[in-house]
Amino acid sequence: MRTPRRPEISLLLLACALAGVLALAGGAGADERAPAAGAAGWQSLLGDRPAPQLGGRWIVVLDKPSLAARVRAAGGLASEEQQRAWSVAAGRAQRAVIARLASRGAPIDPEHVYLRVLNGFAASLDPRSLSVVEKDRDVAGVYPVRAAVPADTRTGLAGEAFGPLSGRRPEVGIPGFDGSGVTVALLDTGVDLAHPYLRGRLLPGIDVLDPFGDASARQNPTVQGRPERHGTEVAGLVVGSRGPAGLHGVAPGASLLPIRVAGWQPDAAGGVSVYGRTDQLLAGLEAAVDPNGDGDAHDAVRIALFGVSEPFAAFADGPLARAVDGAAALDTLVVAPAGNDGPAGPVYGSLGGPGGASSALTVGSTDTRRRSPTAHVLLRAGLRVLVSGDQPLGGAIAPASSLDAQVRALPRAAAAVAGGPSGLAHLFDRAGYARVAGTAVLLPRGTSSPEAVREVVGAGARAVLVDGPLPAGSFGSDAPADVPILGLSAGVAGAVRAALERRIPVSVAFGASAFDPNAAVGEPAPFTSAGLAFDGTPKPELTAAGVGLATADPGRDEDGSARFGAISGTSASAALVAGAAAVLAQARPDLDAGGLKQALVASARRVRGSSAGPAVVDPAAAAAAELVADPPTVGLGVALAANADVGRTIALRNVSRRPLEIAIDTEASDAADIDVLALPRTMRLRPGGRAEIALSARVPLLPRAPAALDGVLRIRVKNGTSVRVPWSVAVPVVGSDLIGAASLSSRTFTPSDADPAVLTVLAGRLDGNAARPQLQPVARLELDLYRGGRRLGTLARVLDLLPGRYAFGITGRGPNGRRLRKGDYELRVVAASVDGRDASVRVLPFTIA
């Protein structure tokens, strides 16, 4: 999103930290004087959230052409010499901007330089440099660096028992094709380069975290025996071959380029956690489109798979989204996981980045297992029954005997066991006695990783309760066989904690477990994120199996044999779709990056006759696609008032060798009181032809609550298959305040760069509830200075903020950088929404003494 030119900034930016419940941070580090926001429900349902060290890093996007922009302007055709020349020109333009910034008092030493997918750089900027950079005429935007985490839950699997109960095989592909001749880049943690399951399929890797590294999986430097596992597991789903009992990946003939963009890195707690930073993800995508770094993208990979996700950051105009669109212009399809934060509210919510990018193929998870472990459960708080009846269990191996235990809720501080140096220490008292022995432990939201489960069981817990819905068997056989794992709804978990706080005893009883028919087969996995990207596009576009998939695990067993495991999560589903895209690229070499995405979405299968939500990937059907739509899912716009007009133009493309006769119909869901008009309604497309369809609608009445009105555009091909294009209209909260609070530490102060007044702003909103949170981000936060009712200029502008508490230092300098004169002023804090409704404003008077 382009923003107007910015006047000079006179502000010292002390901090830009997201709310502690999100466990993310803005680019300038947290201010200890700014307490974290207290919204609940924002930890991942599966997997831990690290508190990363971001070191004051920012991503600066320049208003200068990148290689991708040049190639796009040339219609996608350019010679090697042209591309190298354009890359050189992009670098020259960027260095000129950096030199000009240095001459103005902002010396910059970029940590990462981006020239191919976008033109920009990432660097640690002190407050003075940041103010100079943000105002420069060639700077399109300054964005905070945030964290991205593996979108999975990992499990181990011993031996060769790859059946429907202990580890499912990937069941996606095209008969007769294996992805040969196609390269897939995996942007993830390091990979076990010597794993036999991946032998012969790995290209020399690239390590963004360590330029001297080789993209191999690293061990936790503080706790031995904890390697980076995720990259190996995801790689096995894509290109694994010759596994036990015939196990193999989706595209065993493809080549995989591992790019390490995440791994063990220092965290804010003084330990290490597995995560990647968004500036590192951008650097990885730069490498994927130009692996040899010569400025020519003709060697770009066909598919780039993100195994990590930036939680909740479904921005369609931020640096990652721009980079994904740039990769598409260089003919690289980016496949991204939707995220593992569960369903969100009816509009914006839980989707992770870069899944919000318009060019990204975003993937959610379905549960495709026909049988799953269950047990009869009775959970009581005093005499009140909270749960009674058959419930799914999280372990892949069902305990054979019944048990009952008192429930103990573990505080979050004591649950910080995965990835840190403390290990089991928090679970024992000073005398060495286990605090959880003999109990059923309720883990805090966001700490339900396999590591946390193993460690509380190692401390003597007889059962584990997880705060959040849990697919049956999603923890695989890595969970102890005799310990049941049960997911609780947010309401039940809250009731348990409330009872324990009032000293009401809570107990749980499990009956003997069994593998029963899976009632959720074919349904979306409860952890999968879904909703609208921040531009209103419905996401994810596709789903694939994502629970209990068998794959490689790094390391070796005691007998020296290769290790295997099972993985659940949207990164596992994205891996299946990336493999499907590789196989499709082999079968249909005529399809470009956009065509691969559109064909996969257009041919997806509906589940159980459902007409709503994303469909399941079917690459065999995609290989026979004749017609594709761009985009394959459509956001028609935002309705802020009754009788609002919305609309969008989409393009149809004939990718067959015969002329197509096309008829177009539209329909809305039962809940959407809206008619969508498509013009024209019929057309004829020659082979390779392209035509546009104009979609328009009027929303006569707004629903009383926030909603996403949706429906389907049905495109029927005579003597061929039909294509369905889901559409949506976002109806966000109208009149809600995006500024929860704003305050100055002092209303009277003298100008000082060393001791500024602190402005604290709670920006954005978290509505809904813990089970279905409703996220309202801030597209732009501005600090404007006024005196006597006259606007003096803008002190600061930051973009793409997730809900949280942000702190700034007000130095007493004006927009021109000079010290303000004595007198009375007003600071107006303006928060603009992503959907174009009226901005929220707070006015804070202050006096310069």
Gyration radius of the chain over CA positions: 27
For 625-638+641-731, the fitting CATH number among 3.40.50.2300, 2.60.40.10, 3.10.20.30, 3.30.420.250 is 2.60.40.10
- pLDDT tens for each residue of 274-331: 899 999 999 999 999 999 999 999 999 999 999 999 989 999 999 999 999 999 999 9
More confident residue, 129 or 317: 317
Q: What is the mean pLDDT of residues 382-388?
A: 93
Structure tokens at 259: 């790019």
Where does 1-42+736-849 sit in CATH, by number?
Answer: 2.60.40.10
For 564, phi then psi, to 5°, come to: -135, 160
What pLDDT does 307 receive? 96
Confidence category of residue 273, pLDDT binned at 50, 70, 90? confident
End-to-end Cα spacing for the chain: 39
Which is the CATH superfamily of the domain at 149-368+521-587?
Peptidase S8/S53 domain (3.40.50.200)
What pLDDT does 342 receive? 79
- pLDDT tens for each residue of 331-381: 999 999 999 887 777 888 789 999 999 999 999 998 887 777 788 899 999
Range from 52-66, 339-353, 485-499 carrying the lowest mean pLDDT = 339-353
- In eight-state DSSP terms, residue 127 is H
- In eight-state DSSP terms, residue 424 is G
Establish whether domains 149-368+521-587 and 372-517 are of one fold.
no
pTM of the model as a whole: 0.86
- pLDDT tens for each residue of 561-596: 888 888 888 999 999 999 999 999 999 999 999 999
More confident residue, 285 or 838: 285
What pLDDT does 586 receive? 98
What is the C-alpha separation between 829 and 812, in angstroms, rounded? 16
pLDDT above 90: percentage of residues in the chain: 54
Kind of pairing between the strands at 343-348 and 530-532: parallel
Q: Is the pLDDT of residue 546 over 50?
A: yes
Range from 279-293, 464-478, 743-757 carrying the lowest mean pLDDT = 464-478
Pair 751, 849: CB distance under 8 Å: no
What is the C-alpha separation between 334 and 185, in angstroms, rounded? 9
Domain residue spans of the chain: 1-42+736-849, 149-368+521-587, 372-517, 625-638+641-731
Residue with tokens 């032809």: 689
What pLDDT does 836 receive? 84
Structure tokens at 101: 């910034």
More confident residue, 166 or 153: 153
What pLDDT does 429 receive? 66
For residue 244, give the 3-state DSSP assignment: helix
Confidence category of residue 16, pLDDT binned at 50, 70, 90? very low
For residue 348, give the 3-state DSSP assignment: strand
Q: Is the pLDDT of residue 249 over 70?
A: yes
3-state secondary structure 275-343: EEEHHHHHHHHHHHHCCCCCCCHHHCCCEEEECEEECCCCCCCCHHHHHHHHHHHCCCEEEEECCCCCE
How buried is 697 (Cβ within 10 angstroms: 0-12 exposed, 13-18 middle, 19+ buried)?
buried
Q: Is the pLDDT of residue 611 over 80?
A: no
Pair 410, 524: CB distance under 8 Å: no
For 83, phi then psi, to 5°, come to: -65, -40
User: Buried (b) or exposed (e) across 475-508, using 16+ Cβ within 10 A?
Assistant: bbbbbbeebbbbbbbbebbbbbbebbeeeeebeb
- pLDDT tens for each residue of 411-449: 754 444 433 434 445 666 666 667 788 899 998 765 556
- The four Cα atoms 282, 283, 287, 290 give a dihedral, to 10 degrees, of 70
Q: What is the mean pLDDT of residues 443-462?
A: 72
Contacts of 445-448 with CB under 8 Å at 24 or more apart are: 445/40, 445/41, 445/43, 445/45, 445/493, 445/770, 446/23, 446/43, 446/44, 446/47, 446/48, 446/49, 446/412, 447/43, 447/48, 447/412, 447/415, 447/416, 447/417, 447/418, 448/45, 448/46, 448/47, 448/153
What pLDDT does 598 receive? 96
- The residues annotated as belonging to the active site are 188, 230, 571
Q: What is the mean pLDDT of residues 755-782?
A: 84
Domain 372-517 sits in CATH 3.50.30.30:
yes
Confidence category of residue 223, pLDDT binned at 50, 70, 90? confident
What pLDDT does 517 receive? 76
What is the C-alpha separation between 52 and 23, in angstroms, rounded? 8
Q: Is the pLDDT of residue 259 over 70?
A: yes
CB atoms within 10 A of CB 55: 14
User: Buried (b) or exposed (e) across 587-597, using 16+ Cβ within 10 A?
Assistant: bbeebbbbbbb
What is the C-alpha separation between 85 and 93, in angstroms, rounded? 12
